[in-house]
Amino acid sequence: MSDNILEAHQVVKRFGGLLATDHLDYELPRGMIASIIGPNGAGKTTFFNCLTGFYQIDEGRLEFNGKSVIGLESYEITQMGISRTFQNIRLFNNMTVLENIMVGQEPHLKSSWIGALLGLPSVRREEEATEARARELLEFVGLRGLGDQLAKNLPYGAQRRLEIARALGAQPKLLLLDEPTAGMNPRETAQTTTFIKRLRDELGITILMIEHDMKVVMGISEKVTVLDYGRKIAEGLPHEIQSNPVVIEAYLGKGATAALMAQEKQA
Amino acid sequence: MNEELRGTIKTGLIAGIVTLSLGMIGILVAFNERFIVTDVVTLADLLLFGMAVAAGYLAANSLKQSSVVSKLLHGGLAGVLTGMPTFLLILLARSWEDIRSSFINVGPDLLDIVTLNNANEIMGGILLMVVFGVLGLVGVGIALLPERFRRPIFMGLTWSVGSGVMSDILSGILRPRLSTDTLRSLFGNTGLQPVPFTVLFVVLTAVFFWWQQGGQTRYHALRQNLTPSQQKNTRRISISLLVIFLFILPSLLGVYLSEIFNEVGRFVLMGLGLNIAIGLAGLLDLGYVTNFAVGAYIMALLTSSSEFGLDNPWSFWLAVPICILAAMFTGFILALPVLKMRGDYLAIATLGFGEIIRVLARSDALKPVIGGAQGILQIPAAQIGGFLSQTLGYVLNPINSFLERFELGILATNNNGEIVFGNPPQLYYLFILASLLMLFISRRLNNSRTGRRWMAIREDEDVAAAMGINTTNAKVLAFTLSAASGGLAGAIFAAKLGSIFPSSFELLISINVLALIIVGGLGSIPGVIVGAFALVGIPQLLSEFAEFRLLLYGIALIVMMLVRPEGLWPSEVHRREIHREGDDETAVPVSVKP
C-alpha cells in the first residue's frame, strides 16, 4: 500500500460543455491536514462530490487506500472510510442531535429489522452501544447535554460541530470538510481550527478541507492546493502558496501581482 | 377609514360569507335535524350563532389596546356583518321565485332557519342581524374574560356540546342499564335534555377550572411522590383496567357502535402501514389501496366456496399469513420501478398503481379468475373451531356468565362451541387483535435502527446515503413492510363482508388513509388512532356528515395545516418541541473544550 490515502489521476468531470474538474491530479499522504482553496466555481466542491460518489467522474482514476472508488454508490464509499460534511449544513433537521450521530454510525451497525421486531438481546445491546458512542462523540465535539434537542434548533456553530460529530460516527480514515468555518465569528473559527487539529492528532484521521478563511488554511494546513477553472494551478506549503503570483492573480485578477509589488515597493 | 375598522369589517364579512356558504351547500338544513340540547339548540344553530360569536371574539382580539366600548362596537359590527350576506340571500330569495332551480338548497327549510322562524322574512332577516350583533357582543365578552376563566368555560362547553352531539352513543350504552323514565329525563330523541346539559356544562367547567387552578400540579406532585414500585404498580393497574375495558367494550357499545369501531379499526390498520412509508420514510404513497385490495382478493380466492375459490377452501387463519405475504410482495414489486422517484413524481406514480389495481379487478381479462365487476361471493367468516375453541370456551364461558349480570360480555362461543367472528361485536376482537399486533410492530420498528434509517431518508436522501445507508434497500423495505398492514386489513375486510367487489377498492380509500395520518400527526403512532376516530369514526356516527364527508376532510386538512401542522397527536419529538417553544433553549453556551 502506498503512503497516499487518496490518489486522483487526470480526473475529468463535465457538466455539459463545462469542465468542472479538468484533468486533475491529486495525492494526499496519510495523516496529513490538507486544504484545497480557489475562487468560487473553481471545482472544489465538485471534486468532493466526485470523491464521495455524489457524482460519477467522466475520465481518470480515483483511488482511496489503493482501491478505486469509481462506480461505487455513495454509501459504499462511506463504508470504505470516507466521511464528509457539507458546505451548506445538511443535518437531519427533524431528528434529535443524538439520533443524527447514531445515523452517522450506520457503517458499523449490523442489526436487522427482524431482530428489532423480535427484540433480540443482541439488537438491544447494539442500540445501547450506539447510543453510548453517540454520547461520547457529543462530548468530544463539545455539545454535551444537547442530545435531545432537534438538530434544527441548535445554534449555527453547534450545527457545524454536530455535522462533524455525525461524520466521526462512521470512524472514517479520511474526513472531507467543506468550508468548516463558513459563517463563524473569529472566536468560533479559532476554536474550530484547534478542533480540526485535534481530530488528526488524537484520532489519527487524515483531513482534507475546502476553506476560504486564509487564517485557518495557513494556520493548520500541511499542504495547500489551489484550483481555478477545474485545474490545479499551484500546490505546496502554505507560505509558498501565499506568495505565488499565479494564485494571487487567480483570486484578484490579472495585473494584481504587479500592483501588489508596486505597493510593497512604495511602502 | 382606519386600519382597525377595515380589519373588523373584513373579519365580519369573512364570517358572513362562511355562514352564507354553510346555508347554500345545505349543511345548515341537514344539521338542523340533530339537537344538541333537545328542542332548544340544534347543530345548525350552533354553527350559525357560533359564527357570529367567533366573529365578535376575533374582531375584539385583533384590536390593540382599545377601550371596552370600542371593543364592544367593533364586536357588534362584526356580528351584524356576519349576518349581512345571509340577509341579502333572504332578499334575493324573496324576489327570485325559482331560486331553487339554481341554488337547490335555498328552500323554505333554510329560510326558516335563517329568519329564525319569522313569518315575515324581511323582519326575520333584520332580526337575524340584530341577534348576530348581540352575539358579536357576547364574543367580545368572551375575549374580555381573563384567560383563567375563558379556558375552563371553553373546554366545558366543548365537552358538553360534544356529549350532546354524541348523545346517541351515550343513550345507546345506558339504555339496557337505566329505566325508560330516567333515560327520557336525560335524553331527547336526539340531544341532551336542557337540565342535564346545563348540569354537565357547569360540572365540567368547574372540573376544568379546578384542574387548571392547582389540580394539575397537585396530581403531578402526587405522582412524583410515589415510590418506584408504587409507580410500577399504578402503571400495571391502569394497563390492566385498559385491557379489561377494551375487552368488554363491544358489549357496552352494542352492534351498531361496534361496527363503527370495526371500521375505525380497519383504517387504523391501514394507517399504521402507510405511516411507515409516509410518516417514517417520507415516501408519499398515494396507492395504498393496492395492498388492501391484494389482501382482500387473496383471502377471497383462498377461502371462498364459490366457483372462484379453491376446491378445498382454506381456513381464515391459514390464509391470513398468505394475504400478508402477498401484499408485501406487491409492495416490493411496485417499489422497484419507483425507486428513483421522489416527492411529487412518486406520488403520481403510486396514484397510478392504485387505479391500475381497481381497473384490473373489474377487467374482463381477469374476470374468469377474480370475478370482474360481480366480485367474489361466499367468503366465510373467520372462526375458531375444534379443540382450541373448546379450550377457550372453558375460559370465556364462565366470564361471560359472570358479566351477563351487568349486561356485559366478551368474546362468546356459539351453541356448537365454536367462536365465529360473524357479527360486529365478535369481529371487534379480530380487529383489536390485529391492531394491537400492528401497534406493537410499528413501535418496535419506530424505535430501532431501521426506523432511524427511514427517518434519515425522509429528512435528506442524499445525506442519508453519504452516512453509509443503502437507501435503495431501506426504501424497498419501507414499501414492503408498509404493505403488510394493508394486506392484513384487506384479509379481515373480506372475511367480514363475505363478498368483495372492485368498487370497494377505490382511490378514496388511499386518500382517507392519507388524510387520517396527516390529521393525526405524521409519523405518530397514537396519531393514527386519533386520526382514524376523527375522520372515520365521527362521520359514521353522525349520519348528517356522510353527505359532506369529503368537504369536511378538505376543511379538516386545511384547518390542521394552518392551526396545528404537527397533527392532533404529534410524535414525541415534535411534542417536545412544542413544549420548548417558550423558553430560549438555543442560548445554551457551546464551546470546544481545549
Co-location of B127 and B260 in the same domain: no
B345 vs B284, B355, B459, B511, CA distance in Å?
Answer: 9, 16, 17, 17
Alpha-carbon torsion (A84, A85, A90, A91), positive or negative: positive
* Res B428 pLDDT > 80: yes
Among residues B99, B121, B144, the one where a domain terminates is: B144
Residue B47 within any structural domain of the chain: yes
Burial of B467 (0-12, 13-18, 19+ CB in 10 A): buried
Note whether residue B397 is domain-resident. no
Give the pLDDT of residue B217.
Answer: 84
CA distance B450 to A116: 8
Q: Do A106 and B591 touch (CB under 8 A)?
A: no
Query: Residue B309: its pLDDT value, please?
Result: 87
pLDDT band of residue B344 (cuts 50, 70, 90) is confident
Is residue B386 in a domain?
A: no
* Residue at B377 is within a domain: yes
B123, B144, B165: which is the final residue of a domain? B144
Check pLDDT > 90 for residue B181: no
Q: Which residues in chain B are closer than 8 Å to A102, comparing Cβ atoms? A: 449, 452
For residue B457, the distance in angstroms to the closest alpha carbon of chain A comes to 9
Q: Kindly state whether residue B112 falls inside one of the protein's structural domains.
A: yes
- For residues B473 and B449, give the distance between their C-alpha atoms in angstroms, rounded to a whole number: 14
Q: Which pLDDT belongs to residue B577?
A: 55
Mean pLDDT of B443-455: 93
- Find the mean pLDDT for residues A144-152: 90
Which residues in chain A are closer than 8 Å to B574, comparing Cβ atoms?
Answer: 94
Which of B299, B272, B326, B319 lies closest to B496, judged by CA?
B299
Q: Which residue type sits at A69?
A: V
Q: Name the pairing type of β-strands B382-384 and B419-421.
A: antiparallel
Predicted-complex ipTM score = 0.91
Between the alpha carbon of residue B309 and those of residues A28, B322, B501, the distances in Å are: 68, 15, 15
pLDDT-based confidence at residue B575 (cuts at 50, 70, 90): low
Pull the grid cell for residue B353: 398503481
Please provide the distance, in angstroms rounded to a whole number, between the alpha carbons at the two ends of chain A.
51
Provide mean pLDDT across the span B556-571.
85
Domain boundary among B144, B170, B191: B144
What's the half-sphere exposure (Cβ side, CA atoms, 13 Å) at B422? 9
Q: Are B440 and B301 contained in the same domain?
A: yes
Per-residue model confidence (pLDDT) at position A267: 62
Do B265 and B137 share a structural domain?
no
Are the Cβ atoms of B481 and A99 closer than 8 angstroms?
A: no
Residue entry with cell 359514521: B540
Asked if B450 and A148 come within 8 Å (Cβ–Cβ), the reply is no
Supply the pTM of this predicted model.
0.87
| Residue B191 falls inside a structural domain | no
DSSP state of B381: P
Asked whether residue B482 falls in the same domain as residue B350, the answer is yes
Does B137 score more than 90 pLDDT?
Answer: yes
pLDDT of residue B583: 40
Put simply, the answer to whether A90 touches B463 (Cβ < 8 Å) is yes
Which SS3 state, helix, strand or coil, does residue A266 take?
helix
Average confidence (pLDDT) over B240-253 = 89
In angstroms, the CA B585 to CA B377 distance is: 61
How far is C-alpha B535 from the geometric centre of its chain's CA atoms?
Answer: 3
Number of domains in chain B: 2
**Partner residue facing B455 (CB), from A95, A113, A161:** A95
d(CA B29, CA B103): 13
Alpha helices in B498-581 (DSSP H): 507-520, 525-532, 538-541, 549-563, 572-580
Q: Is the pLDDT of residue B580 over 80?
A: no
Highest-scoring range by mean pLDDT, A204-208, B70-74, B580-584: A204-208
Q: How confident is the model at residue A98 (pLDDT cuts 50, 70, 90)?
A: very high
Q: If you write DSSP's letter for every residue of A67-131 in order, what string do you get?
A: EE-TT--HHHHHHHTEEE--SS----TTSBHHHHHHHHTGGG----HHHHHHT-HHHHHHHHHHH
**What is the reported pLDDT for B576?**
58
Residues B121 and B261 in one domain: no
Judge if B373 and B497 occupy the same domain. Answer: yes
In this structure, the answer to whether residues B273 and B136 fall within a common structural domain is no
Q: Judge contact between B281 and B458, C-beta under 8 A.
A: yes
Let me know whether B134 and B265 are in one domain: no
* DSSP label of B212: I
Q: Which residues pair with B477 in a beta bridge?
A: none
- Whether B505 maps to a domain, the answer reads yes
Instruction: Please check whether residues B115 and B262 belong to one and the same domain.
Output: no
Q: pLDDT-derived band of residue B475, with 50, 70 and 90 as boundaries? A: very high
Within 10 angstroms of residue A28's Cβ, the number of other Cβ atoms is: 21
The CA distance from B151 to B130, in Å, is: 27
Separation between Cα atoms, residue A156 and residue B51, nearest integer Å? 45
| Angle of helix B471-497 versus helix B289-303 axis, rounded to 10 | 50
Per-residue pLDDT tens digits for B513-553: 999 999 998 889 999 999 999 999 888 888 777 788 888 88
Looking at the structure, do residues B358 and B484 belong to the same domain, yes or no?
A: yes
Q: Is residue B589 pLDDT above 60, yes or no?
A: no
pLDDT of res. B582: 40
Joined grid coordinates for residue B533: 376516530
Using a CB-CB cut-off of 8 Å, the residues of chain A touching B481 are 113
**CATH number of residue B440's parent domain:** 1.10.3470
What gap in Å lies between CA B591 and CA A36, rounded to an integer? Answer: 27
What's the CA gap between B364 and B300, in Å, rounded?
Answer: 18
Residue of A nearest to B477 (CA): A113
Q: Which residues in chain B are contacts of A194 at CB distance < 8 A? A: 592, 594
Among A83, A106, A149, beta carbon nearest to B585: A149
Q: Is A106 in Cβ contact with B468 (below 8 Å)?
A: yes
Residue B1, pLDDT score: 58
Average pLDDT value for residue range A101-129: 93
Of A104, A123, A130, Cβ closest to residue B467: A104
Q: How far is A153 from chain B (nearest CA, A)?
A: 6
Q: Is the pLDDT of residue B82 over 90?
A: yes
Distance CA B52, CA B87 (A): 14
For residue B211, being part of any structural domain is answered with no
Chain A neighbors of B448, CB-CB under 8 A: 111, 113, 116, 123, 127
Stretch among A155-164, B138-147, B168-177 having the lowest mean pLDDT: B168-177
How far is B427 from B491, CA to CA, in rounded Å?
Answer: 13
- Residue B160 pLDDT class (50, 70, 90 cuts): very high
Domain that includes residue B10, residue range? 1-144
**DSSP H or E segment with residue B493:** helix B471-497
User: Is the domain of B324 the same as that of B450?
Assistant: yes
Which residues in chain A are closer than 8 Å to B594, comparing Cβ atoms? 194
Averaged pLDDT score across all residues of chain B = 88
The nearest CA of chain B is from the CA of A252 a distance in Å of 34
**What confidence tier does B116 reach under pLDDT thresholds 50, 70, 90?**
confident
CA dihedral angle for residue B191, residue B196, residue B200, residue B206, rounded to 10 degrees: 150
> Using one digit for the tens of pLDDT, what is the confidence trace for B123-135?
999 999 999 999 9
Q: What is the pLDDT of residue B590?
A: 42
Burial of A114 (0-12, 13-18, 19+ CB in 10 A): exposed
Residues A38-96 have pLDDT tens digits of 888 889 999 999 999 999 999 999 999 999 999 999 999 999 999 999 999 999 999 99
**Sorting pLDDT into bands at 50, 70 and 90, what band is A244?**
confident
What residues of A are in contact with residue B580 (Cβ under 8 Å)?
Answer: 153
Q: At residue A212, does pLDDT exceed 70?
A: yes
| Interval B194-200 mean pLDDT | 92
Q: Which of A218, A208, A216 is nearest to A243 (CA)?
A: A218
Beta bridge partner(s), residue A11: A24
Asked if residue B487 has pLDDT above 90, the reply is: yes
